[in-house]
Amino acid sequence: MAELVDIAPGILVHTSRKDALNSIVLASISEAMLVDPGWEAAELDDLAVQLAERGLTVLSGFATHAHHDHVLWHPAFGNAPRLASAATVRLAGAEREDLLAHATADDPALEARPELLALIGRLSPTPQAPANSHHTWLPRGAAPCGFEPQLLTHDAHVPGHTALWLPEQRILIAGDMLSSTELPLPDLEQHESRARLLQKRSIDPFTAYLEALDLLEPYARKARLVIPGHGPLGTDALERLERDRAYLTAILNGDDPRDERRATRGMEAWHARLVEAAVERR
């Protein structure tokens, strides 16, 4: 099993053997906030043991978005609030059967773990500004001493996707964006149905993704480290962002950009789907 790795003072990362999912722990001496803990049942068991061995009590959890590998939990983490943007909470509730189906397909061991299945997608919304659902923040006491995460909520990848910026540490927790192994993953298939569910205007998924990159850019410029949802951490947050923007812009312009991430399993097929969607968009 993967060990929790100290990547900065008070910040630990547990990387799954499945698609290199990064689970993040923000820790003080005795308290912790968990971001996207996962992925497999055995890995959740192991993560719980490692937290206990470090004497850490979980203050809160945070789910960056409503995909099955990011809304997992373990009873040993306790009854701490599991937070997410309001859109993420609504999607996790409305799409819970799909979340369960995808989770058990990816890890059949979950089928024999009803206590883990029962916790998938059980989230509570963060506060948000009445006039702007993207202006969200953590409630007081959710983060351990020494951390003041800022929430950056947008509609790339899936509506309500939220990155976390740690200003003192200059670390960007990007969710499923800014990966060095995965191509950009706009919500091509479900953006319209999800917009209806959320009672929001449907935004073209390419536009939503590019707008999210614009939102993240000032933080990527300041970041000394980026932690993506999947794949290696990096000191190149801005370079990753600019590469994603250039890649999507090239596709929208009808070009066929070369990108080494196309060699990652499943990414060449995804590239072809993006090209197809860009043609349909014209």
Q: What is the DSSP string of 178-246?
A: S-SSS-----TTTHHHHHHHHT-----HHHHHHHHHHHHHHHHHH-SEEEESBS--BS-HHHHHHHHHH
Out of 3.40.50.2300, 3.40.50.300, 3.60.15.10, 3.40.50.1820, select the CATH number for domain 1-127: 3.60.15.10
Q: List, edge to edge, every strand of the sheet that includes 124-125.
A: 5-8, 11-15, 22-27, 31-35, 57-62, 82-84, 124-125
Does 148-282 match 1-127 at the fold level?
yes
CB 225 within 8 A of CB 166: no
**Residue 151 reports pLDDT greater than 80:** yes
For 63-76, what is the mean pLDDT? Answer: 99
- How sure is the predictor about 1, in pLDDT bands with cuts at 50, 70 and 90? low
The residues near 232 (Cβ < 8 Å, ≥ 6 apart) are 20, 180, 181
Q: What is the pLDDT of residue 133?
A: 82
Question: Which tokens hold the place of 279?
Answer: 């043609």
How far, in Å, CA of 82 to CA of 122, rounded? 7
- pLDDT tens per residue across span 180-215: 999 999 999 999 999 999 998 888 999 999 999 999
Query: Which 3 state secondary structure label does DSSP give 61?
Result: strand
H or E element that contains 51: helix 41-53
Buried b (16+ CB within 10 A) or exposed e, 84-112: bbbbbbbbbebbbebbbeebbeebeebee
For 64-81, what is the mean pLDDT? Answer: 98
For 62-70, what is the mean pLDDT? Answer: 99
Rg (CA), the chain: 18
For 121-135, what is the mean pLDDT? Answer: 92
> What would the DSSP string read from start to end of 105-144?
HH-GGGGG-HHHHTTTT--EEPPEETTEEEEE-PPTTSS-
Torsion 212-157-175-84 (CA) sign: positive
CB 62 within 8 A of CB 84: yes
For 131-140, what is the mean pLDDT? Answer: 90
Burial status of residue 235 (CB atoms within 10 A of its CB: 0-12, 13-18, 19 or more): exposed
For 56-80, what is the mean pLDDT? Answer: 98
Phi-psi region of 96 (alpha: psi -120 to 50; beta: other; left: phi over 0): alpha
Domain definitions of the chain by residue range: 1-127, 148-282
Q: Please give the DSSP secondary-structure letter assigned to residue 274.
A: H
The class that CATH gives domain 148-282 is alpha beta
Does this model's pTM top 0.95? My answer is yes
**Residue 77 reports pLDDT greater than 70:** yes
State the Cα torsion 13-119-129-33 to the nearest 10°: -30
CB 59 within 8 A of CB 32: yes
- How sure is the predictor about 97, in pLDDT bands with cuts at 50, 70 and 90? very high
- How sure is the predictor about 238, in pLDDT bands with cuts at 50, 70 and 90? very high
Please identify which residue in the block is written with the tokens 């072809």.
272
Q: Read off φ and ψ for residue 141, nearest 5 degrees.
A: 90, 0
Mean pLDDT of the chain: 97
How far, in Å, CA of 220 to CA of 174, rounded? 10
